């Protein structure tokens, strides 16, 4: 499974990544699942 998220600007994306990291930290100790990989970066699209 792959999820691609588009943010309206860099500031929004940075804030979201911080919140995601916080949630993942909590989930690691409470959920019976394990994250296998994580990929971050910019994407350029031509429409």
Contact 24, 34 (CB under 8 A): no
Contact 40, 14 (CB under 8 A): no
- The more confident residue out of 26 and 15 is 15
**Reported pTM:** 0.61
Tokens of 40: 């971050």
Which residues, in sequence order, are CB contacts of 35 under 8 Å at separation 6+?
24, 28
Rounded to 5 degrees, what angle do the CA atoms 25, 31, 33 make?
Answer: 95
pLDDT-based confidence at residue 11 (cuts at 50, 70, 90): very high
């Amino acid at each position: 499974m792959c999820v691609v998220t588009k943010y309206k600007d860099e500031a929004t994306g940075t804030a979201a990544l911080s919140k995601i990291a916080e949630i993942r930290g909590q989930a690691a100790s409470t959920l019976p699942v394990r994250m296998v990989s994580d990929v971050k970066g910019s994407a350029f699209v031509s429409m």
